[in-house]
Amino acid sequence: MERKYIGKPIKRIEDPRLLTGQALFTDDVHLHGMLHAAFLRSDYAHARIKSIDISEALKLPGVVAIYTAEDFGDYWHVGPLQVPPPIAIPGAKFHAKGLPPIAKDKVRFSGEPLVVVVAINRYIAEDAAGEIIVDMEPLDVVTDLEKAWEDTSVLVHEDIGTNMAALVKQEKGNFADAAAQADVVIKRKFYVDRGASGAMENRGLIASWDNRTQNMTIWTNNQAPIPLRNTCAANLGLSDSQVHVITAFTGGGFGPKIMTSQADDVLLPWISMKLCKPVKWIEDRRENFLATTSERDQIHYCEIALTKEGKILGFSDIFYHNTGAYDPYGMTIPLNTMTHTMGSYFVPNFYTEVRMVFTNTMVVSPVRGAGRMYGNYVMERMIDAAAREMKIDLVELRRRNLIQPDAFPFRTGITGQDFVENVLDSGNYPETVRKAAEMIGYEKFVKEEQPKLRAQGKKVGIGFVTFVEGTGVGPYEGAKVTVENSGKVNVATGISTQGQGHYTSFAQIVSEQLSVEPKDVRVTTGDTDQFDWGAGTFASRGMTVAGTAIHLAAVAVRKKILKLASKVLETPEDELEIEGGVVRVADLPGKSISLGNLASRSNPTRGVVEPGVEPGLEATAYYGPPYGATGQGAVAMILEVDPETFEVKIQRFVLVHDAGTVINPMIVEGQIMGGVQMGIGNAFYEELAYDEYGQLQNASLMDYLIPAATEMPPKMELGHVVSPSPLNPLGLKGVGEAGAIPTPACFHQAIENALENKIEITSSPMSPSRLFALTRK
Amino acid sequence: MKIEGEHTFNGPRPDVWEMIRDPEVLASALPGTQKLNKLSDMDYEGVMNVRIGPVSGSFSGKLVVSDEVPPESCTLTVDGKGAPGFLKGVGHVKFAEQPDKTTHMTYEGEVTVGGTLASVGQRMIDSVAKSMIRQGFESMDKALEARLANKAGQEVEYKPPTEAQFAVSVAKDMAKSWTQIAEVRMIMYIIPAAIILAIIGYVLSRIMTR
């Protein structure tokens, strides 16, 4: 069936406004009488608070109020957890430690908020914060994961007597038996670190309590506006309908903006209510690095067991995961690591164990990839180690172990972040591998080009890995589609948008059903007054889950249109068609009615209506998948390593991707490229450098290296395979995190290949100096 | 962060020791020091202004002298806190009398820096610390000279460097290393070159349009 709108690279409707500075971002909001908040944050990573003296700060003219934990009285409370504990997994041990909005008695990470200062402008608020004297008794700090697990002499949370945040084990088959039967067993230890999200726009929130209307309005750039509203209302004892959360345009989310129950969304509404004035807080870059969540280190002990033909019999992975000082986001990241380790491969026996540890560092929560990258990294590196030892070609060894197209739906036997068994819904893994190898010219490069380059003394290498991406997880999303009297269509859904083009791609889905041009479909996301049921934007689920809900609502509206038009035009429904904003009889184009007219007819202001009929051409629909849809792909790259400086230049980059049905190929390409940039960062440039005292040493863009255009490949060659998902009517899968997941493993493999396997890389990120050190070993 | 080094003072050890234990001299040796009060023979407290790159602010702290073996060695423990962060350090100082009536001082210690100083000023901490130490010694050399001269009956005034002079000196130290960086050199050549090209372009365009 030829589609008119779906699958077309339509230019984004929201771009003209964004590019000409006409879009509203949170910081653009200025309200009459608005006050500004600044936080005083702890320098120490672990300390007892003895006293806080705000007297000098209060004297500064322009300071309106200063609050410590005590000043919030009973309102001060820990948490709640944003993600529930993993009770679905048998034997799981979990210590729930929600995030306190502001530190009381003890600080557990450098950057933890101590005091909120409210003043007439941010400058005065920060000056006042500088006048506050906090007397703290520094305690010993624990930052090393293995030490934190074994040693109880330094405890982040004394009341539980351990630094164990969680212990979860899952097994499919029996790894010990597999290892006993194998011809080859290889063991490795990996240290894998990621980094900050580095969104161009930082967190921000404006809380405005109007005492006369008894309503709270919150402007924010949060990825979960509905949970934020619900928690806020519950905290303040208000009705959900009294709190209105508006998500302005957002300059990138990538994960950390999903966090609710943080200092800003808990404390600022309370302060606004107390002072009866709007209060605004915009995070600065240093605060973002120090005190907004990031995704950090894991240590993996892996074993892979293979037959001498290179068939994987089993894989074992015992790993430590750093959750930081608290664990408000539950086990999402390590569960994603667990479900993504086996990847595209058939692994009949798999054992995975996570030891989640509290440390005196910032809280860890998902950043694009959300734990998937670690699983991918260790499996791909282990396969490379096996290929090296068994002298089998890297791509061939992977081919021999791919899950075949007839195996779907493929049950993996491992429970994931949505607390159900991870099932691979559809895919054609051999095809993505074949296509990627063909696009990069693998055979030709390895056999002809590389030897020539090596003879010239150039260190050029090729990398090739595969990956899977779990997307579109539940619980559900909803949407409302309405045809208005103007003939234009209004769409509202609960998730919010961070720049992934929802205003366009969602419009395309509706246009396909209602034959209204995308520019005449108005999409509203993240406004709780327009739609207030849903969970949020995370796990690459916006298009799959909210998009499907929008599709179902549009389908229902189309039915209503045809039913009413059939009555009005006195023609059976099957002889009607909708085209160009008009419903008409197929063979009699003169006999028609515009959608706008029909909408007016559907909502009379006088007369009587038939019983059971709903007014308007409107429908609300909800969609929740039984499990997430899994995308897959293969990445290949060719890069050159400078033999003296060990700087790396990417020469070619190929990514073949299967994300099911593609709504807007241009937007998908953008998403993939953005993910690749973050993957390149994680491979070679980005790292949050905490020292052993829990001090972050690079909390600025001077020292935290986000890849610029100069670090990117000159061109990204993207290929597509389409295996529609059977889980939703349009066959959609998510794609937002795809680029970030496989890139580090491919990057490191290519470096090893460039250096002719004289080194083995077992930690990420690498850097020129680390490479140099490895070559000197 | 480890700190270690040495310095030769132009004077006999007993005089050097006396000078080191004089809070006036210590305070003036590091400009930016607002005050240094002697609480007891072994305890001092004070306030000091610090600037490392873009980070600046005032620190209040304690200095404790321990393990004293006059005039040979002692241990200095520093504990400072302020808006820009915190600083904790322990240093061991040794003085050795040289045959030519000079004193050779060696020091080694461990310093922990936290807060904004650490997270934003990290790259510059090393060089600024070295510069501050160098400045401090220079200043103490002058103070020692004045002391010895006064002892000998001459009127010599010792004027400690002002905060402004100190800042200029640190900046000079930093700049010296800056011009070694290729990118900075490039800018130093490109900017004048660009200006000259622009001027030539403008002049030519005026000539052409006649």
| CATH number of the domain enclosing B21 | 3.30.530.20
| pLDDT at A186 (0 to 100) | 98
If we measure between CA atoms, which residue out of A52, A699, A50, A44 comes closest to residue B113?
A44
Residue A416: closest CA among A385, A382, A462, A370 = A370
Tell me: do B25 and B92 sit in the same domain. Answer: yes
Q: For residues A343 and A182, what is the distance between their CA atoms, to the nearest angstrom?
A: 21
In percent, the amount of chain A with pLDDT more than 70 equals 100
Token couple for A749: 């493999």
* Shared domain check, B200 and B143: no
Question: A699 to chain B: nearest residue by CA?
Answer: B119
Q: A612 or A256, which is more confident?
A: A256
Enumerate residues 126 to 145 of chain B having a beta carbon within 8 A of any beta carbon in chain A.
none
In a domain, residue A166? The reply is no
Q: How far apart are CA A484 and CA A524, in angstroms?
A: 15
Q: Calculate the CA dihedral of residues A245, A251, A256, A257 and round it to 10 degrees.
A: 0
| Encoded amino acid at A536, one letter | G
Q: Is residue A266 part of a domain?
A: yes
Which chain A residue has its CA at the smallest distance from B123's CA? A703
Domain boundary among A224, A256, A291: A291
Say what angle helices A225-236 and A263-275 make with each other, to 10 degrees. Answer: 50
Q: Which residues of A628-651 are buried (b: 16+ CB within 10 A; e: fewer)?
A: bbbbbbbbbbbbbbeeeebebebe
Chain B closest-CA separation from residue A141 CA (Å): 13
pLDDT value at A678 more than 90: yes
Cβ distance of A695 and B118 shorter than 8 Å? yes
Q: Are A311 and A401 in contact (CB under 8 A)?
A: yes
Average per-residue pLDDT for chain A: 96
DSSP string, B54-94: TEEEEEEEEEEEEEEETTTEEEEEEEEEETTEEEEEEEEEE
Burial A669-697 (b: 16+ CB within 10 A, else e): bebbbbbbbbbbbbbbbbbbebbebbbbb
The partner residue sitting opposite B122, judged by closest CB among A43, A44, A697, is: A697
| pLDDT attached to residue B178 | 58
Last residue of a domain, one of A580, A607, A623: A623
pLDDT score, position B155? 67
Residues in A closer than 8 angstroms to B122, CB to CB, are 697-698, 703
Would you say residue A759 lies in a domain?
yes
Q: Tokens 């959300």 identify what position?
A: A370
- Report the distance separating Cα A290 and Cα B118, nearest Å: 11
Q: Determine whether the interchain pair A130/B83 forms a contact, defined as Cβ–Cβ distance below 8 Å.
A: yes
Same domain, yes or no: A214 and A327: no
Residue of A nearest to B119 (CA): A697
Question: What's the pLDDT at B36?
Answer: 80
Q: Kindly report the nearest CA distance between residue A691 and chain B, in angstroms.
A: 10
pLDDT tens profile A397-423: 999 999 999 999 999 999 999 999 999
Q: Is the domain of A554 the same as that of A651?
A: no
Contacts of A698 in chain B (CB under 8 A): 119, 122
| B57 in reach of chain A (CB within 8 A) | yes
Of B81, B115, B123, the CB nearest to A703: B123
The residue of chain B nearest to residue A132, with distances taken between CA atoms, is: B83
Beta bridge pairs of residue A204: A282
Q: Is A178 inside a domain boundary?
A: no
* Same domain? A458 vs A327: yes
Residues A302 and A243 in one domain: no
Domain that holds residue B201: 181-210
Give A-chain residues touching B116 at CB under 8 angstroms: 43, 286
Q: Give Cα B30 to chain centroid, integer Å.
A: 6
Give the span between the Cα atoms of A191 and A301, in whole angstroms.
Answer: 9
Confidence of residue A311 (pLDDT cuts 50, 70, 90): very high
- How close are the terminal C-alpha atoms of chain B, in Å? 66
B1 CB within 8 Å of a chain A CB: no
Contacts of B85 in chain A (CB under 8 A): 43
Closest-CA residue of A relative to B85 is A43
Token readout for A287 is 């605060």
Residues A657 and A765 in one domain: yes
B119/A700 touch (CB, cutoff 8 Å), yes or no: yes
Please count the structural domains in chain A.
Answer: 3
**CA nearest neighbour of A705 among A728, A739, A677, A737:** A677
Query: Do residues B125 and B49 both lie within one domain?
Result: yes
Task: Find, among A510, A515, A520, A526, the residue nearest to A477 by Cα.
Answer: A526
Structure tokens at A754: 């460039």
Secondary element (H or E) of residue B105: strand B103-114
Phi, psi of A386 (to 5 degrees): -65, -45
A751 shares a domain with A660 = yes
List, as one string, the DSSP characters of A148-187: HHH--SS-SSGGGTS-EEEEEEEEES-HHHHHHH-SEEEE
Q: Which of B57, B113, B119 sits opposite A130 (nearest CB)?
A: B57
Question: Both A513 and A367 in a single domain?
Answer: no
Comparing alpha-carbon positions, the chain B residue that sits nearest to A126 is B83
Position B200, amino acid:
I
For chain A, say whether B61 makes contact (Cβ under 8 Å): no
Residue A48, min C-alpha distance to chain B (Å): 15
Question: Which single residue is written with the structure tokens 């490795």?
Answer: A188
pLDDT tens for each residue of chain B, 210 residues long? 888 889 898 888 888 888 888 877 777 776 677 778 888 878 888 888 877 777 888 888 888 888 888 888 989 888 888 888 898 889 899 999 888 888 999 999 988 888 888 888 777 888 888 888 888 888 888 888 888 888 887 766 666 666 667 667 777 776 665 555 555 666 677 777 888 888 888 888 888 765
The count of domains in chain B is: 2
* CA end-to-end distance (rounded Å), chain A: 60
Q: Which of A575, A601, A623 is the last residue of a domain?
A: A623
Instruction: Give the model's pLDDT for residue A607.
Output: 92
Cβ–Cβ under 8 Å, residues B143 and B158: yes
CB pairs under 8 A between A and B: 43
Q: Is the dihedral of CA A645, A646, A652, A654 positive or negative?
A: negative
Residue A422 domain-assigned (yes or no) = yes
Whether the upstream peptide bond of residue A80 has omega within 30° of 0, thus cis, is: yes
Q: CB of A476 within 8 A of CB of A535? A: yes
Say which range, A293-307, A558-572, B33-47, has the weakest mean pLDDT.
B33-47
Question: In this structure, how many other beta carbons lie within 10 angstroms of the beta carbon of residue B19?
Answer: 20
Question: Best residue in B52, B116, B122, B123 to probe A by mutation, most A CBs within 10 Å?
Answer: B122
**Residue among A290, A693, A700 whose CB faces B112 most closely:** A693
Chain A residue set in contact with B, beta carbons under 8 Å: 43-45, 110, 129-130, 286, 289-290, 691, 693, 695-700, 702-703
Residues B160 and B65 in one domain: yes
Provide the pLDDT for residue A752.
97
Instruction: Check whether residue B122 and residue B18 sit in a common domain.
Output: yes
Record: contact A698-B113, CB cut-off 8 A: no
Q: Are residues A381 and A464 in the same domain?
A: yes
Question: Between residues 158 and 197 of chain B, which touch chain A (CB distance below 8 Å)?
Answer: none
Write out pLDDT tens, residues A10-64. Answer: 999 999 999 999 999 999 999 999 999 999 999 999 999 999 999 999 999 999 9
The reply to whether residue A289 touches residue B119, judged by beta carbons under 8 angstroms, is yes
Token pair 């997880």 in the structure block, residue: A473
Q: At what angle do helices B116-151 and B163-178 cross, to 10 degrees?
A: 120
Average pLDDT, integer, range A418-438: 97
- Determine whether the interchain pair B120/A286 forms a contact, defined as Cβ–Cβ distance below 8 Å: yes
B85–A43 C-beta distance less than 8 A = yes
Q: Name the residue facing B86 among A43, A696, A699 (closest C-beta).
A: A43
pTM of the complete model beyond 0.95: no
Q: Estimate the share of chain A in helix, then strand, then coil, as percent rounded to the nearest 5.
A: 30, 25, 40
Please indicate, yes or no, whether residues A546 and A633 belong to a single structural domain of this protein.
no
**Residue pair A664/A504 in contact by the 8 Å Cβ criterion:** yes
Best residue in A107, A700, A703 for a mutation probing chain B (most B CBs within 10 Å): A700
Is there a single domain that holds both residue B155 and residue B207?
no
Considering only the beta carbons, identify the residue of A44, A129, A290 that sits closest to B119: A290
Same domain, A742 and A669: yes
- Bond into A409 cis (ω within 30): yes
Residue B204 Cα, gap to closest chain A Cα (Å): 35
Angle at B164 between CA B159 and CA B170, to 5 degrees: 100
B54/B75 same-domain check: yes
Encoded amino acid at A16, one letter? P
Q: How confident is the model at residue A686 (pLDDT cuts 50, 70, 90)?
A: very high
Q: Is A661 within a domain?
A: yes
Q: Are residues B50 and B68 in the same domain?
A: yes
User: Do B9 and B75 fall within a single domain?
Assistant: yes
CATH number at residue A248: 3.30.365.10
- What pLDDT is stored for residue B156 in this prediction? 65
pLDDT at A732: 96
Residue B135 and residue B193 in one domain: no
Same domain, residue pair B22 and B104:
yes
Q: Say whether B83 and A43 touch across the interface (CB within 8 A).
A: no
Q: Are residues A518 and A535 in the same domain?
A: yes
DSSP string, A626-663: SS-EEEEEEEEEEEEE-TTT--EEEEEEEEEEE-BS-S
Question: B196 with B114, same domain?
Answer: no
Contacts of A690 in chain B (CB under 8 A): none
Contact (CB, 8 A) for A321 and A191: no
Going by the DSSP 8-state scheme, the letter that residue A445 receives in this structure is I
Count Cβ atoms below 10 Å from residue B155 Cβ, excluding itself: 7
Three-state SS for A215? strand
Enclosing domain of residue A281: 198-291
A332-370 confidence digits (pLDDT tens): 999 999 999 999 999 999 999 999 999 999 999 999 999
Question: Of A219, A259, A233, A256, whose CA–CA distance to A82 is shortest?
Answer: A259
Co-location of A340 and A368 in the same domain: yes
Cα separations in angstroms, B209 against A735, B201, B204: 57, 12, 9
